Amino acid sequence: MTIKIGQRDKIFLVGGVFFLTCYLLFLFVAQPAYENQANINRRIKDKINFIEKYYKVLNQTPYYQAKEVENKNIKSILQKKFLAEKEPGLAAAALQKLLQGFSKGLVSIKKTRVEKPKFISGILAIPIEITVRSNLRSLALFLMRIENHQKFLIVEEFRSKRTNKQEPEDLQTRLLVTGFIKELESKTGKPI
């Protein structure tokens, strides 16, 4: 059984086969090749962007080196603000010696007492209670020496009373002076 196909039908069949062949070539060859090339181009562009960012970071090395030097300077300045001793007892003794140095020629220290160390804002504080006798001007100079010292010292408590009713400038003052050592509060929260 043979089918007789006319000239006009042959043209349509050849055109249909040609169209179907072109469609199949496009669907299975051209489109995957185009998508693959687009994927390769995208990956190349991503790698170029990565390399450009890398070179931007490399070009900023002087900035980061300057920041590192600045951070080291700040760290050394902060090191000087803390008491040099590592142990609370030694730090308390150093703080007492420092306060005795401040008092020379200004006030007379009558009594000193070391309080229990405590953490203030995560840093170990060494409080010392001192009782001094002086006049008002000498006491002001003594407090100024404490607060303007290169070490970070604070006066937490200040209680003053007159010792002589005839002389109102003669004072007996109790101060709670706190110095700090470079020890941070532990995560476990162990008491000292």
For the whole model, what pTM was predicted? 0.61
pLDDT above 70: residue 192: no
Q: Where are the extended beta strands (E) located within the chain?
A: 108-114, 118-120, 123-134, 153-162, 171-184
Note the pLDDT of residue 159.
93
Q: How far apart are CA 106 and CA 135, in angstroms?
A: 9
Residues 6+ apart with CB under 8 A from 124: 88, 117, 118, 180, 181, 183, 184, 185, 192
Above 60 in pLDDT, residue 190?
no
Least confident window among 64-68, 107-111, 165-169 = 165-169
Percent of the chain with pLDDT over 90: 53
pLDDT at residue number 188: 59
- Please tell me the distance from the alpha carbon of residue 92 to that of residue 192, in angstroms, as a whole number: 14
What pLDDT is attached to residue 144? 92
Mean predicted confidence (pLDDT) in 113-125 = 89
Q: Are strands 123-134 and 171-184 parallel, antiparallel or unpaired?
A: antiparallel
Q: How confident is the model at residue 191 (pLDDT cuts 50, 70, 90)?
A: low
